[in-house]
């Protein structure tokens, strides 16, 4: 099998598996005062310090969550509620049009159910959110904005936005800024203290860690109204008994990924470049989506004209090559990728995409397997064509 869907999830690092296995089955609630509880608490706090070192933040700024989706929801809802409570005029949320659904959906919910006004920031043709686009979205009166949220590295096309430059704009008006950085830690040198954001979401399973654990990094001066009330854990931001084995697995994976990053980035960038070159040789009409250089080194996203992305995916899967499409599926009906639509693609283009994403254990054999399988898959997909969509496209 050739696994080329690391942007969706990565295989766990053996060291993370070993660290978790050692704790599984042992007692110890980190909130308990007896010896087992104190030991679990020590493991949690040591892991918190390791995560903080890897991400350039203070250990007190690390709030463990059940993953990136929960971290995004806590940040977006919690900061928006807090800011509006403090100043009722701050009733607007500004977010990127190319965000992951873990940001899009809570922002939409706040607009539909909580009365917030929502403004979407226009993307450029590469998927980047620029300073000019942010200023346009903020409008003539940015003082009514409670929160801005912009993804650091796009999960579909891999394009990186200059978050530091964007936060310089919002700082002028005292606006809170959140970034979904879930795709970034394995490939970019993240330093929370220099980004200028007040909240940043990360997830363990994108860096060789386990599913179901992540973190929201929250600056010391940022208050978040909690979504979950209970035992008051994690600065009273995220109550609930902490999963000590998963937290240890997360910290171990992030620490190892950070230590090996330079070598991994260099090796994977060469594999990605080889993949792109050979795909273009097979399919000269295929277009490469996203930024050419300012993108994650593990991401290769293509539009294959005349081929339904879902068909290509299944045809490759039948030959042992696993990747992903850039579209969502609603009730079994393929929909155009909202990211591609935001970048200016037409609906056929937005339904004809494939994303190949490499990871820490990707090899030349994975790329070779794709190249061997792709010609027949494209030929069969083109014969089937791209059927017309009978439902409205997903837009923001």
DSSP secondary structure code for residue 278 in this structure: H
Q: Tell me which residues of the chain have a pLDDT lower than 70.
A: 326-334, 389-396
**Domain 262-384 in CATH 3.90.1150.10:** yes
- What is the pLDDT, as a whole number, of residue 326? 64
Do the beta carbons of residue 105 and residue 252 sit within 8 Å? no
Do the beta carbons of residue 200 and residue 56 sit within 8 Å? no
- What is the pLDDT, as a whole number, of residue 195? 97
User: Strands (DSSP E) along 123-251, which ranges?
Assistant: 145-149, 176-180, 199-203, 214-218
* The two three-digit tokens of residue 350, written as one number: 């937005």
SS3 label, residue 215: strand
150 backbone dihedrals φ, ψ, rounded to 5°: -135, 130
CA pseudo-torsion sign 107, 109, 114, 116: positive
Q: How far apart are CA 128 and CA 287, in angstroms?
A: 17
What is the chain's length? 396
What's the angle, vertex CA 13, arms to CA 11 and CA 19, rounded to 5?
Answer: 130
CA pseudo-torsion sign 119, 124, 130, 133: negative
Same fold, 14-258 and 262-384: no
Distance of CA 44 to the CA centre of its chain: 24
28 backbone dihedrals φ, ψ, rounded to 5°: 135, 100
- What is the pLDDT, as a whole number, of residue 37? 87
- What is the pLDDT, as a whole number, of residue 337? 92
Enzyme catalytic residues: 329
Three-state SS for 117-147 is: EEEEECCCCCCCCCHHHHHHHHCCCHHHEEE
The CATH architecture assigned to 14-258 reads 3-Layer(aba) Sandwich (3.40)
- What is the pLDDT, as a whole number, of residue 395? 52
Kindly list the domain boundaries of the chain, sorted by start residue: 14-258, 262-384
- The residues with which 216 forms a beta bridge, in sequence order, are 63, 201
- What is the pLDDT, as a whole number, of residue 27? 87
Distance of CA 243 to the CA centre of its chain: 22
- What is the pLDDT, as a whole number, of residue 396? 56
pTM: 0.94
Q: How far apart are CA 86 and CA 76, in angstroms?
A: 16
Q: From the CA atom positions of the chain, what is the Rg in Å?
A: 21
Q: How far apart are CA 196 and CA 162, in angstroms?
A: 11
């Amino acid at each position: 099998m050739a696994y080329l869907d690391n942007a969706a999830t990565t295989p766990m690092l053996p060291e993370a598996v070993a660290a978790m296995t050692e704790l599984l089955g042992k007692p110890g609630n980190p909130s308990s005062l007896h010896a087992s509880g104190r030991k679990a608490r020590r493991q949690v706090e040591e892991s918190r310090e390791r995560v903080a070192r890897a991400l350039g933040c203070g250990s007190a700024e690390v709030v463990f969550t059940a993953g990136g989706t929960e971290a995004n929801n806590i940040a977006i809802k919690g900061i928006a509620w807090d800011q509006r409570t403090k100043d009722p005029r701050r009733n607007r949320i500004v977010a990127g049009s190319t965000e992951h659904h873990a940001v899009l959906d809570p922002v939409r919910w706040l607009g539909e159910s909580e009365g917030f006004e929502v403004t979407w920031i226009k993307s450029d043709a590469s998927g980047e959110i620029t300073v000019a686009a942010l200023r346009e979205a903020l409008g003539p009166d940015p003082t009514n904005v409670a929160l801005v949220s912009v993804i650091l590295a796009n999960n579909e096309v891999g394009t990186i936005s200059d978050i530091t430059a964007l936060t310089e704009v919002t700082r002028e008006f005292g606006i809170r800024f959140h970034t979904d950085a879930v795709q970034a830690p394995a490939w970019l040198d993240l330093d929370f203290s220099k980004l200028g954001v007040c909240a940043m979401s990360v997830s363990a399973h994108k860096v060789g860690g386990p599913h179901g654990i992540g973190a929201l990094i929250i600056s010391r001066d940022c208050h978040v109204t909690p979504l979950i009330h209970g035992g008051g854990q994690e600065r009273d931001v995220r109550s609930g008994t902490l999963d000590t084995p998963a937290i240890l697995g997360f910290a171990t994976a992030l620490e190892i990924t950070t230590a090996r990053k330079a070598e991994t980035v260099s090796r994977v960038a060469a594999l990605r470049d080889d993949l792109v070159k050979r795909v273009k040789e097979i399919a000269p009409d295929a277009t490469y989506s996203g930024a050419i250089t300012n993108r994650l080194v593990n991401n290769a996203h293509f539009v294959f004209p005349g081929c339904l992305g879902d068909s290509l995916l299944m045809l490759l899967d039948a030959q042992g090559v696993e990747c992903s499409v850039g579209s969502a599926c609603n009730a079994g009906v393929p929909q155009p990728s909202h990211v591609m639509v935001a970048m200016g693609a037409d609906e056929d283009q937005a339904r004809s995409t494939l994303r190949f994403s490499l990871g820490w254990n990707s090899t030349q054999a994975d790329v070779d397997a794709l190249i061997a399988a792709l010609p027949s898959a494209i030929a069969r997909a083109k014969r089937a064509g791209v059927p017309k969509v009978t439902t409205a496209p997903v837009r923001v």
